[in-house]
Structure 1
Amino acid sequence: MTIRVCAVQYKLEDISQFEQFAAQASHYVRNASEYDAQFVLFPEFFTTQLLSVPDGQGNPLGIERLPEFTPRYLALFQGLARQYGMHIVGGTHVVDAGGGKRQNAAHLFYPDGRIAVQPKLHLTPTEVEAWDMTPGESLDVFETEFGTIAMLTCYDIEFPEIVRMAKAKGADIVFCPSCTDDRHGFYRVRYCCHARAVENQVYVVTTGTVGSLRRVDFMRANFGQAAILSPNDIPFPPAGIVAEGVINDDMLVVADLDLQLLEKVRAAGSVTTWRDRRTDLYPDWS
């Protein structure tokens, strides 16, 4: 089976009302539909753009206000997924986790209106210390008509064990929404995406925010690039890069993923990293 995926290099810029955010998100989805994409990926923390909407005194909003937009965020992307008949990984959005805590959660919007959620499992110091977030407690994979996927956000991809768990649960594609503010953070995520694709013989689709929110703390700088990555083996591009964007540009990146090729290289590739793991020497995913 071949599926077409699209990753959005979402350009952050200050806005004054929710409708501007909705119009920008709708533009990207509409554009992806013109390429007949079946999955669209938005970046981590792209909804922080809503924090630039001024309060009654003209000041930007604090992170504690972002969950207030959750109903409109859900309705927007649920409607877009239905309208265009596609699966949308709506980046991540900060949600109320109860008990005064917040979570950074990836959302999958199905064309039939269903919504699946995967909270980020590994949090950066900024998320914990500045934004008072709490991590998710379990990993899920998600069944679609095109196969099984996982959603692992940014820092999550830097932990090999969690991606191995996703593969063991059946995921062939890992969607990795990301948000990094400099080259160091960007390349940490990017190199780990490549490593996870090689180790587990899966596709990894990643993207990050670009642009700047001049009024929002910790979102004033963004360094991002979308990439659609494969295992490094003969049926795939030599560098394992199926497609990638132009760094820090506002754009979409589109590619076709052949899931049957994954089965072929797992069974008889130049290397068979998934099959050859040494569970007698180190614990398996369970």
Structure 2
Amino acid sequence: MLDSATIELRNLRVKDYEELKLSMIEVYSSMENAYWSKADIKTLVNKFPDGQFCIIIDGKIAGCALSIIVDYDKIDDDHKYTDIVGGENFSTHNKNGNVLYGIDVFIHPEYRGMRLGRRLYEARKELCEQLNLKAIIFGGRIPNYGPYAQELTPKKYIEKVKLKEIHDPVLSFQLSNDFHVKKVIKGYLPGDHESKEFATLMEWNNIYYTKPEKLIDTKKKVVRLGLVQWQMRLFKDYDALVSQIEFFVDAVSDYQSDFILFPELFNAPLMAQFNHLNEAEAIRGLSSYTDRLLETFRNFAITYNINIITGSMPQAVGEHMYNVGFLCRRDGSVERYEKLHITPAEESAWGMKGGNSLQTFDTDCGKIGVLICYDVEFPELPRLLAEEGMNILFVPFMTDTQNGYSRVKICAQARAVENECYVAVAGSVGNLPKVNNMDIQYSQSAVFTPSDFAFPVNGIKAEATPNTESTLLVDVDLDLLKELHNFGSVRNMKDRRKDLYSLKRKK
């Protein structure tokens, strides 16, 4: 039947999905729903097209190998398959990682015995060398272990497979292709009854790998945060407001801070000139300064060599008004974030609309997230950011009463614990008697931590004096988060029962 067949090894495409699904159903017939969704394949192909291989014979998918790149220095050997896949968005994929991680490989039963698996493995090895990655790693099934489980431990079983006293269709093949067993993992792939849910962590080392030379260490382990507890006061004009901004940027940068965080709607004093208008028109008048402020912040970020999180400002987009802010990196690049949940007062007084964009931001100090005030009271948002690798969450806020501040503080502390990250919050203080709807402010800026032995016992790294204009300078150690994630007294991110519940974005 195969005499005249053509064999094509190429990268997988989204349009191959239906054939891929049929092949996977045949391959994993003993496992329920063991095939990728079309959305999964689309995400993989979009994120890492070079890492997805397939073999086509007469229009059918005879074999497939899927992979991502991970920063294995941040991964514990004793991990689960779901820890690597990183949810539906494959958030663990990191184009700057050091290891090619295989998340699936299979050959259709009809085409076994043709050495097609070897072709897929060779393609992976070649890709690993081309990308100058340190190794290929994956969790391998041991599907023939079941009949021996009563008499042999996984370790003894692997030894006998190595000595060729037992043949395992997966492990034997992997060993013959220069992979070695790095570790045995229990519970790696729930539902893999043939392997008794054991897996071998397999590794192939790239002998041509050369560690990239770094003249400057761009991955900082200790990050210095500068928080501005901003005094609301009337300014005679726009330039006076900018002078006050520059004062804080200059002062905080003098301490070699990596970030400076301003509060939500810190530029509200400029609304005084629009007091003759109704509240909705006044906030729209304030939004006329946003583009100018953005350019000012961008210039300050470059000049003072500091990453600036601009708090938030109103921005008009067509007929709608949004509460937005910007990450101005010290290299001159800019990212925009939006307040997603609008409070009843913002909606009724100003006609604000909630935004639609939620994302992490890459910086020279790792991945960060920014949520504006009320958003931190919705635990789903920080969890999605944490799944994408966020280490520090910044929360610019504005609260008028101690009640409002308590909501922000308590929720921010909870987010630090449940997402194993640092949370920095910064707000404004003082009164604005001549600005409608902005009369009084209450805040206490702070940096919150997880609650474990390596961190303060109360989960508070530092706090500013309540209701007093000041800056707060705080060092946070990112390595402590890594240790917590792998060896903490409790491990909230790892111990989630994904077999019972899941959190996902809407497409």
TM-score when scaled to structure 1?
0.96
Please say which structure displays the higher CA radius of gyration.
2
The answer to whether the 8 A contact 2:225-2:259 is kept is yes
Instruction: Name the residue aligned to 1:139.
Output: 358
The answer to whether the 8 A contact 1:4-1:254 is kept is yes
User: Which residue of 83, 95, 104 corresponds with 2:315?
Assistant: 95
Report matched runs for 1:80-229 at 5 Å. 80-98=300-318, 100-229=319-448
Q: Tell me how far 1:16 sits from its aligned partner.
A: 2.0
Instruction: Name the residue aligned to 2:296.
Output: 76
The answer to whether the 8 A contact 1:151-1:175 is kept is yes
Q: Distance in 2 between matches of 1:234 and 1:74?
A: 40
Equivalent residue letter for 2:270: L
Q: Distance in 2 between matches of 1:161 and 1:54?
A: 37
Unaligned 5+ runs, structure 1: none
Q: Tell me how far 1:59 sits from its aligned partner.
A: 11
Equivalent residue letter for 1:93: M
Q: Distance in 2 between matches of 1:147 and 1:250?
A: 29
Equivalent residue letter for 2:313: H
1:62 counterpart SS class: helix
Unaligned 5+ runs, structure 2: 1-220
Q: Which has the higher contact order (CA 8 A, sep 6+)?
A: 1
Moved beyond 4 Å, runs of 4+: 57-61
The answer to whether the 8 A contact 1:17-1:53 is kept is no
Equivalent residue letter for 1:278: R
The change in CA–CA distance for 1:236 and 1:70 in structure 2 (over 3 A counts) is: same
Q: Which moved more, 1:149-158 or 1:271-280?
A: 271-280
Report matched runs for 1:19-58 at 5 Å. 19-53=239-273
Q: Tell me how far 1:53 sits from its aligned partner.
A: 3.8
Cα deviations by residue, 1:220-279 (Å, 9 ceiling, x for unpaired): 110011101110010011111111100000000111111111010010111111111112
Equivalent residue letter for 1:23: S
The answer to whether the 8 A contact 2:274-2:282 is kept is no
1:243 aligns with 2:471: no
Cα deviations by residue, 1:21-55 (Å, 9 ceiling, x for unpaired): 10111111111012111100000011112112468
1:258 aligns with 2:480: no
Q: Distance in 1 between matches of 2:278 and 2:410?
A: 38
Query: Taking every aligned residue pair, what percent have the same amino acid on both sides?
Result: 37
Instruction: Name the residue aligned to 2:161.
Output: none
Q: Distance in 2 between matches of 1:35 and 1:231?
A: 25
Equivalent residue letter for 2:335: A
The answer to whether the 8 A contact 2:311-2:325 is kept is yes
The answer to whether the 8 A contact 2:274-2:285 is kept is no
Q: Tell me how far 1:76 sits from its aligned partner.
A: 1.3
2:485 counterpart SS class: helix
Equivalent residue letter for 2:502: P
Q: What number of residue pairs does the alignment pair up?
A: 284
1:91 counterpart SS class: coil
What root-mean-square deviation, in Å, do the aligned CA atoms of Structure 1 and Structure 2 show? 1.7
Q: Tell me how far 1:282 sits from its aligned partner.
A: 2.2
Q: Tell me how far 1:181 sits from its aligned partner.
A: 0.2
TM-score when scaled to structure 2?
0.55
